[in-house]
Chain A
Amino acid sequence: AQKVTQAQTEISVVEKEDVTLDCVYETRDTTYYLFWYKQPPSGELVFLIRRNSFDEQNEISGRYSWNFQKSTSSFNFTITASQVVDSAVYFCALSENTGNQFYFGTGTSLTVIP
């Protein structure tokens, strides 16, 4: 079974639109962390945000915000006023209390059209 599901494979938005990337996770651990990584066309993986399972307070950091809801096992990521440079593949990842690996979703490819 998939531990991290990103149902949106591709999204296109026009510059300055807001866009939300969905992530649903599955774990039996009560303590875990969730992450979002960005993979631009150059290929590297860039850490964006982290949230622990005990903190459901949603936050905003610049143009990024996230909505963590334990009740629905979702950790959605929103970019406001999107820019062309936001075009990338975005991966949601889970780190559990047991084990030390990251479980990645399949990624959502975001294209921001100028």
Chain B
Amino acid sequence: EPEVTQTPSHQVTQMGQEVILRCVPISNHLYFYWYRQILGQKVEFLVSFYNNEISEKSEIFDDQFSVERPDGSNFTLKIRSTKLEDSAMYFCASRPRQGMSTEAFFGQGTRLTVV
């Protein structure tokens, strides 16, 4: 069964460092997302991406964040200068098409720990 894969599963980084989280969405999907979940809290929307550009982003997704689909298969989230409060589980998701009826398929998450 096709699945969204994320690497690494766990990343530890020092405050102020840049970090790149990687995702390989399901191959025929067109819409890509990043969500984050601070430990014990709800899953929060960060950004959606379609046709090689951001289609929607939340207030959390400030100038420190960027996304890219560099090669048609990978979908990355970059945090330029990490802060302690960026520590969270980051989920990548993809959907085959636009539309509220389609469920999002989530990856297993990358746990980011900023020290």
Contact = CB atoms under 8 A, between A and B. Distances in A.
- Tell me, yes or no, whether A binds B: yes
Interface of A: 31-33, 35, 37, 42-47, 50, 52, 91, 93, 95-97, 99-107
B48 A91 contact: no
Nearest to A35: B103
A96 B45 CA distance: 14
Most central of A32, A44, A107 by chain B CB within 10 Å: A44
Q: Using C-beta atoms within 8 Å of the partner chain, give the interface range for chain B.
A: 20 to 34
B1 to A, nearest CB: 12
Interface in B16-34: 31, 33
Contacts of B48: 100-101
Interface SS, B side: strand
B45 A102 contact: yes
Interface in B54-82: 55-56, 58
B100 A31 contact: yes
| Binding site secondary structure of chain A | strand
A99 B56 contact: yes
A43 B109 contact: yes
A41 to B, nearest CB: 12
Contacts of B111: 43
Most A CB contacts (10 A, CB to CB) among B44, B48, B101 go to: B101
B7 interface: no
**Which 7 A-B pairs have CB atoms at the shortest separation, nearest pair first?**
A95-B100, A45-B106, A44-B108, A104-B43, A101-B45, A106-B42, A33-B100
Given A52-B101, A100-B31, A101-B45, A43 B108 contact: yes
A14 B115 CA distance: 39
Nearest to B103: A47
B51 to A, nearest CB: 12
Interface string B82-101: 00000001010101001111
